[in-house]
Structure 1
Amino acid sequence: MSRLHVVSGKGGTGKTTVAAALALALAAEGKRALLVEVEGRQGIAQLFETEALPYEERKIAVAPGGGEVFALAIDAERALLDYLHMFYKLGSAGRALKKLGAIDFATTIAPGLRDVLLTGKACEAVRRKDRTGRFVYDYVVMDAPPTGRITRFLNVNDEVAGLARIGPIHNQAQAVMRVLKSPETAVHFVTLLEEMPVQETADGVAELRAAGLPVGGVVINMVRPQVLDEAAVEAAANGRRAEVARALAHALERTGSGGRAPKGRTGLISPPAGPADAVSADPFVEPLLQQAREHTERLALEHRGRGEIARLALPTYELQLLGDGVDLAGLYRMARELRKQGVAR
């Protein structure tokens, strides 16, 4: 079982939300998980409805079964001060450098240095042990940069180790890469069943494999329910109004909502009351039929996307679309679903 879970994905796929749900899922049954943010967006604080995270590990949630989730927003400047103190014993001198602006200057002109510090801090949390020799955290979950940058972000220490042949920088870079390229680490991709996110996921997996970095699984997020059965989908594709109207009428009856679909579930307009044959002839049913056709086209697109993801030969998990948005209750629902599908095994 991997202990460092790196979560990446194309922008807009919900990677921060999935990372938070994954941390809750892994922390269940008495475990301790650290949820790490590296992009400075304070997305974790917003999801857990808490104040902005400082540069310190802070408990933000209790997982089912008594586990605990801590969070850390890694700041590159503070991480560099930690690094200078740890390896060069520059305590007060490092703080003086910060006051002079040298720290900010260094992390700005050398973006690679920033990535070294961020990954190094996360790996330090993975390796950290208490006085009894037990790991402080059972799992560390990183809300990482997007798919297009993830391989360079994780592999930067390899480049640094090659540039600095000896000394503490070389040793630190090698120690980080030993974690990142080991079974302790798994890099997961979050995607939607849409063409661009699926393609970026496939490209990201290929890049990680080429770099020798461990790929975990694929989380298909915001999956929409299939409103129509296969016969109705085929009827909608071929424009058979009466059959589609009957199928839609049955679908709305199954909702138990008096002829109107629940908000955020199907997105379909409820048809006028009456027999299905009469509904099919009603002019008001045309917008509904148009949505049925669009739903059919989306199902075909999603089917192709699932096929592309299946070809990656990776563990795959699915999370349903939460129609009213993601709140704390929604995060716990997502965590339960991930555990149910075996993500924490």
Structure 2
Amino acid sequence: MSRLQVVSGKGGTGKTTVAAALALALATEGKRTLLVEVEGRQGIAQLFETEALPYEERKIAVAPGGGEVYALAIDAELALLDYLQMFYRLGGAGRALRKLGAIDFATTIAPGVRDVLLTGKACEAVRRKDKRGRYAYDYVVMDAPPTGRITRFLNVNDEVAGLAKIGPIHNQAQAVMRVLKSAETSVHLVTLLEEMPVQETIDGVAELRSAGLPVGRILVNMVRPTLLDGPVPQDVKKTAIAKELSRAGLGGARKGGLAEQLVEPLLEQAAEYAERIALEEEQRAELARLGLPVQELEFLSEGIDLAGLYRLAATLRRQGV
């Protein structure tokens, strides 16, 4: 497994939930994982039922086997202050710039700078080592922007490196890209078994590959259970269904009775079920053509809470994460 796990996906596919479950799965057996948020939505705090995350690394969960999950909500302004202090030793002058609005101005006129700061902070966590020379975190999981923006978000450091030929900014961008385009990184895409998310996933994979960014796996979320062992029968007679319903205690088989009234709704549901299954199989075939590992996570009808996250993490572990 790559040490930097970037999770993207179309909006509404449960990208943040999958990133959180992946962080828990990777922390199993005593590992330390850092879960990073870059969009400022505080989605991680909501999932783990904790207070809003500050701009610091904070332990938020314990995984099976004693592993630990830490979380960090990266703030672009505070990351820029760190950057200014690290490379220019501005210290108090940097804080004064923030009060004057200079940081907002800088990240507004050059949006790429914001992405450099966000990815740079995550890559710093990947490279960081303690006094004994061991990595501070075994894995870093990034809850990244949606599929439509992920390639530009990750590749922006190349653009900045092209603009700044020398100096700290150039060196920082190059260092970040060495991590993002190496075997240390995997970019995973979350999707649903629906036509639009699958098509966006296919397009996203093509863009990532074109940019030379390492694509990891496809994570199919919210997969509904299969209710029948085989295809829906097409030649079942209504009278036979009514008799079976009657035998099951759902009203008598007399004409106009409850059993007969239930036949048409059941047939409609069966037709909808068959249509859904056929569509899902088509989408699975489309994803298979990408030649990437595909993992499926079940739909949790009771909603997502901490227990649900641990359940999804266990599913990922069983599938080889």
TM range, smaller chain = over 0.9
Give, in angstroms, the shift of residue 341 of structure 1. Answer: 0.3
| In structure 1, C-alpha distance between the alignment counterparts of 2:57 and 2:160, rounded to whole Å | 27
Q: How many residues are matched?
A: 319
Match status 1:328 vs 2:298: no
Give, in angstroms, the shift of residue 104 of structure 1. Answer: 1.5
Q: How does 1:241-320 map to 2 (within 5 A)?
A: 241=238, 272=250, 282-320=260-298
The answer to whether the 8 Å contact 1:23/1:141 transfers is: yes
| In structure 2, C-alpha distance between the alignment counterparts of 1:109 and 1:51, rounded to whole Å | 32
User: Could you say if the C-alpha distance between residues 182 and 278 of structure 1 is closer, same or farther in structure 2, counting changes exceeding 3 Å?
Assistant: farther
Q: Structure 1: which 5+ residue stretches go unaligned?
A: 250-258, 260-270
| In structure 1, C-alpha distance between the alignment counterparts of 2:264 and 2:174, rounded to whole Å | 64
Match of 1:284, SS?
helix
Q: How does 1:157-168 map to 2 (within 5 A)?
A: 157-168=157-168
TM-score calculated relative to the size of structure 2: 0.94
The answer to whether the 8 Å contact 1:245/1:289 transfers is: no
Give, in angstroms, the shift of residue 234 of structure 1. Answer: 3.9
The answer to whether the 8 Å contact 2:252/2:258 transfers is: no
Once the two structures are superposed, residues 198-255 of structure 1 have per-residue CA deviations (whole angstroms, 9 ceiling, x without a partner) of 0000000010001000000001100001112324x142xx6754677799x7xxxxxx
| In structure 2, C-alpha distance between the alignment counterparts of 1:177 and 1:168, rounded to whole Å | 14
Match status 1:186 vs 2:164: no
| In structure 2, C-alpha distance between the alignment counterparts of 1:106 and 1:272, rounded to whole Å | 70
The answer to whether the 8 Å contact 2:250/2:258 transfers is: no
Q: Structure 2: which 5+ residue stretches go unaligned?
A: none
Q: 1:215: which partner in 2?
A: 215
Q: How does 1:84-103 map to 2 (within 5 A)?
A: 84-103=84-103
| In structure 2, C-alpha distance between the alignment counterparts of 1:241 and 1:280, rounded to whole Å | 13
| In structure 2, C-alpha distance between the alignment counterparts of 1:214 and 1:279, rounded to whole Å | 61
Q: How does 1:8-47 map to 2 (within 5 A)?
A: 8-47=8-47
TM-score calculated relative to the size of structure 1: 0.88
Match status 1:145 vs 2:150: no
Once the two structures are superposed, residues 78-98 of structure 1 have per-residue CA deviations (whole angstroms, 9 ceiling, x without a partner) of 000000000111111100101
User: Could you say if the C-alpha distance between residues 199 and 93 of structure 1 is closer, same or farther in structure 2, counting changes exceeding 3 Å?
Assistant: same
Once the two structures are superposed, residues 115-163 of structure 1 have per-residue CA deviations (whole angstroms, 9 ceiling, x without a partner) of 1110000000000000011000000000000000000000000111111
Once the two structures are superposed, residues 12-68 of structure 1 have per-residue CA deviations (whole angstroms, 9 ceiling, x without a partner) of 000000000000000010000000000000000000000000000000000000000
Give, in angstroms, the shift of residue 197 of structure 1. Answer: 0.4
Q: Identity rate of aligned residues, in percent?
A: 77
